[in-house]
Structure 1
């Protein structure tokens, strides 16, 4: 029986025809996604669901999707898909992470021109029969300094276009290596330097805990006078109220925004300001981009339903069905090891060496590699998946090496991840016990035995008496319960570490209290996707 796919949003007829040409039974109902009740009534008939942003694949809908095997999102954003619920249901969620890149980059460049030359205001004035030539005095882009926050796929395209405009480009990106910066022809800088030197600033980062409000009120105070701000990435990166104040008093000369903290944006502090250009989230809105992502998602879904091949999956690595049975716990371990490294690394990673020992060396190490890299990079980019992670790592100039060896110790097999940055090296190792649960077994060369949980705390210190008491007392007094406590040291009086499994994420004030004791070199909260 042929697989059956429902297209519940407006995909192109060409994309729908791809399903038909591949022998898949497809129902094209482009307005069904807006009718939640009707969609829930019919979803149980389908093996695949192809959507854009109108359809909401909620946990409630997925409860009705008894036959669903794959959801394909034409585009990068999957805010409308409950990925944890899909994972529990055994549904693969795919997106098309690179189909919109050129279109979004071009929109950022267009917005930069628009705010530099006040094109929307000048157009409205001329349409009104005025001839206010002296009112609209713009600035050239040539020889101006462009600050690019985020030098990934879209950011690198913007950088390339900016060079063509003869702009000087500086970039801030924690994952950008010096080698990759040289390839892009940019000077890598810290955020404060970028804020103080750029004539134009454009954002090309996802919205994460680390990037939320990255242009805060305090950051706005550090901006070069007369700067112009462009945001075609994500709402929530900029404090819109603080920026509006800076625009009104002239510290910031102009802004161009395609995205807003609340969308659809019917009101914003930036609205109705004469030096602000706004558009309704049009970054990916070109005929070419919409067609590209539609065709791509149709091909990906067809491949999976007909052959089992997995591309651009957000909740499953690219492995065969046979491998998945054995590798599942090891894939999760690899992701945890990468996530540990990613959450502790605040500078560009130059090289990653992944060592596979014993039975781990006999597995599909390519799939395990992608799990390590995805886990590491997801700390700064939640849109990274098992397929796009190696591409993004390559774009950032990260050298990835794999070593395999026969069993050398007490474990049947283990994985060790060693990372090199410009200033330091860091390593962590783990294994899977007979119960199928991943464990951390070594950090910084110090042997430990720590189970992995969703909320953890990592500390480093000089080995001395009283550290356990300080940790226990500080956390206990502030209502943070310790589920498990693992300690290790290199030798008496030397480097020591602690890894705590907690019931909840410790609040920032509690972390500050631990840091203020002066007992610790590092106090880092960690989160892991367990389950």
Structure 2
């Protein structure tokens, strides 16, 4: 995993728990398994499992050759697409991910963004800073509020489902689009299943939680952005590639839409991007996922999976080759 991350994940009792589960040296953090140090090479030769996180090296056939006993990879983060390869599946390696744990803070961020969008918090705060005087906010915000606001959730992923669950206590109408979700299942979640065009056309707030796949690139394109009602808000905490950014910028520059963007493409917008300064945009640096003390949730999830592996039990949150065709 990337430098310094292991020390933030496994502190205090979590480090004690790790060393009680497995024979390990937490100081051995390998970044390039193709050219390991002697100490890492020796560890790999007897390793039964790898504990990975963000920044994990690609586990291709060459890397796996150095770990002949390896039978499991436990990922203390979300997607495994960056390091799990066909060679892992061919070897029969069991894979687990803490995606469910990482989904929690993303869903919490999204809930806050939805409620703030409905109340028009961002533009009101900026306008208040400009006016710096008493003002008839009731008249200016006559169309604001979260009573019977329509929220469209794009993707019934782990995060999408958590968001729908978090919205239940509020007086909101929730739509969901997912090609793998039926109407009855959507209703059980507390949402109405609709097509993506209908969701965009009806949604006062559209929040994107679909996985990054070839078929989801520019899923929210210029045509679908144009379907969104005037004054609607687009929230993206998934991946920047799912939204046609140039088309979105045009809509934002016109003032017709609002946006809350935790992800962009590229991940850091160019220095001259209007996303930094547009008054109808809240741009955050990919912070919706786990950070700070939320890393402990990831560590706990990974350690629980390592415990299951150590006693010969199946993973509670396995990742399969087939699931990666339609998940992050």
Shorter-normalised TM range = 0.7 to 0.9
Q: Per-residue deviation at 1:162?
A: 2.5
Q: TM-score, normalised by structure 2?
A: 0.81
Partner of residue 216 from structure 2, selected from 211, 214, 218 = 211
Which structure has the bigger radius of gyration? 1
Q: Per-residue deviation at 1:34?
A: 5.4
1:70 and 1:93 in contact (8 A); partners too: yes
**Partner residue, 1:232:** 237
CA distance in 1, matches of 2:230, 2:209: 22
- Structure 1 residues 129 and 143, CA gap change in structure 2 (3 angstroms): closer
1:240 and 1:270 in contact (8 A); partners too: no
Structure 2 unaligned segments of length 5 or more: list them.
none
CA distance in 2, matches of 1:133, 1:271: 28
Partner of residue 263 from structure 1, selected from 257, 261, 267 = 267
CA distance in 2, matches of 1:382, 1:124: 37
CA distance in 2, matches of 1:81, 1:214: 25
Equivalent runs, 1:99-138 vs 2, <5 Å: 99-117=101-119, 119=121, 131=132, 134=135
Structure 1 unaligned segments of length 5 or more: list them.
1-6, 317-374, 384-531
Provide the aligned C-alpha RMSD in A.
3.2
**Partner residue, 1:49:** 50
1:150 and 1:204 in contact (8 A); partners too: yes
* 1:336-363 deviation digits (Å, cap 9, x = unpaired): xxxxxxxxxxxxxxxxxxxxxxxxxxxx
CA distance in 1, matches of 2:206, 2:267: 22
* 1:393-419 deviation digits (Å, cap 9, x = unpaired): xxxxxxxxxxxxxxxxxxxxxxxxxxx
* 1:82-140 deviation digits (Å, cap 9, x = unpaired): 322333455433212311233211101122244445656766788x8972665986521
1:256 and 1:277 in contact (8 A); partners too: yes
2:151 and 2:175 in contact (8 A); partners too: yes
**Partner residue, 1:322:** none
**Partner residue, 1:25:** 23
Q: TM-score, normalised by structure 1?
A: 0.52
Q: Per-residue deviation at 1:198?
A: 1.1
Higher share of residues assigned strand: 1
Larger RCO: Structure 1 or Structure 2 (Cα < 8 Å, ≥ 6 residues apart)? 2
- Structure 1 residues 246 and 63, CA gap change in structure 2 (3 angstroms): same
1:195 and 1:223 in contact (8 A); partners too: yes
